[in-house]
Amino acid sequence: MTAFSTADILLPKLDSEGMTKWSVVACDQYTGEPEYWAKTAEIAGNSPSALNLILPEVYLEQPNAEQRIKAINAAMDRYLSDGLFEEHKNCLIITKRTQADGRVRTGLVGAIDLEQYDYSKGSSSQVRATEATVASRIPPRVKIRKDAALELPHIMILIDDEKKTVIEPLEAKMDCMAKVYDFELMQNGGHLEGAVLSEEDAAAALAALDKLADREAFNKRYGLDNEEVLLYAMGDGNHSLATAKECYEQKKREGSPDAELARYALVEIVNLHSPALEFEAIHRIITEVDTEKLMSALTDALGLVKGAEGQSFTVILNGKEEQYSVTKPCSNLTVGSLQSVLDSYLAENAGKIDYIHGEDVVRNLAAADGAIGFLLPSMTKAELFPTVIKDGALPRKTFSMGHANDKRFYCEARKIRV
């Protein structure tokens, strides 16, 4: 058995209009746009909504965060006692998300065994983080989860199923399945459909995952020598899964009756090779820095030469753009080699770093005095698993996986308290 399994999944007993008000985007989106969340609250109104069961991160540092958490726990208890949910026992749900741009992303919702998840760098667990986990981000999220009766996932985990053996055979049959939800998502989120798999289809999906987990085949595929299998790589929601892990470990140490429920976290697995998934580069801008000194440090550490062979990136400085190649890489990825030197330099020298999605934004910001921009290549899908296996985790802000309105919306829930 792999770390992914069936779960007892709760769905609200609402019509399509009610589901539109129920389902809201992942809490870590639109953190700089409180107006988005105000509009979400306006749309939800007094109807049952997942908005009442989550704490958008835009509010995480506000003085009333503790009161918000108490209100969340009360809302969970109220929804349960009011009989809002229908429980689908021991099942998997196939989801079909049509994004606002028309592309379709299909996934499977089930449970991940947190005993098989280790987010530390260099982990050899079957479920691994793809980017460095920031320890300081976990305690505030533990406060939200530790006394909660329910979990609602925005966690998306990737599998490297190039032959499309797990999800795609089910996707082809989805139109013949009885839908458990089918509705429009709010705020340009697209459309969401879901169906509970039959026992036969669920068993076929889990059997296909078992084949992907074959250790000999795994090592052959990636050119390795007797390495532990990486089957599940975090796509979105790594800190949410790390929070679930910490809460489980605490309950296990305390001998809590909730420990067995807390051992699992509800997630959606998606094939890395889904055409709806695109990796977009995240660029760097350094301001308030001695640009000449920084370039000298980068040149020495990375052996920079002009050109575009191997690992390479574009430097924007003094109104000029120049391509440089790395002759002394220290990571499997260009962004990793650059980031490691930037981190070392900024730890000992003046300068501020920011992470930017658009190239034109970097160009504009790099025009200021004491500023330098770095345009990075997009990471290919084929590089994700080998890099996590080799380097342990990607540097922070390596890639972006879709725009904010394409992120996972909360829909399903699961009990995590007796």
Q: Dump the DSSP string for 390-418.
A: HHSSBPTT-EEES-GGGSPBP--BEE---
pLDDT digits (tens, 9 = 90+) for 3-33: 999 999 999 999 999 999 999 999 989 987 8
**pLDDT at res. 131:** 84
Closest CA to 230 of 243, 239, 217: 217
Query: 338: which 2 tokens?
Result: 């650059």
Closest CA to 385 of 111, 3, 129, 118: 129
**pLDDT at res. 148:** 96
Decide if 242 contacts 265 (C-beta within 8 A).
no
**pLDDT at res. 74:** 97
| 312 SS3 class | strand
Question: CA gyration radius for the chain?
Answer: 22
Decide if 269 contacts 110 (C-beta within 8 A).
yes
**pLDDT at res. 31:** 83
How many of the other CB atoms lie within 10 Å of CB of 156?
22
| Beta-ladder partners of 321 | 316
Burial profile 386-400: b = 16 or more Cβ within 10 angstroms, e = fewer: bbbbebebbbebbbe
pLDDT in tens, the chain (418 residues): 799 999 999 999 999 999 999 999 999 899 878 999 999 999 999 999 999 999 999 898 889 989 999 999 999 999 999 999 999 999 999 999 999 999 999 999 999 999 999 998 889 999 999 987 878 889 989 999 999 999 999 999 999 999 999 999 999 999 999 999 999 999 999 999 999 999 999 999 999 999 999 999 999 999 999 999 999 999 988 899 999 999 999 999 999 999 999 999 999 999 999 999 988 889 999 999 999 999 999 999 999 999 999 999 999 999 999 999 999 999 888 998 999 999 999 999 999 998 888 899 899 999 999 999 999 998 888 889 988 998 888 877 888 887 889 999 999 999 999 9
Query: 57: which 2 tokens?
Result: 């991160």
CA dihedral 85, 86, 89, 95 (to 10 degrees): -90
Phi-psi region of 32 (alpha: psi -120 to 50; beta: other; left: phi over 0): alpha
| 360 SS3 class | helix
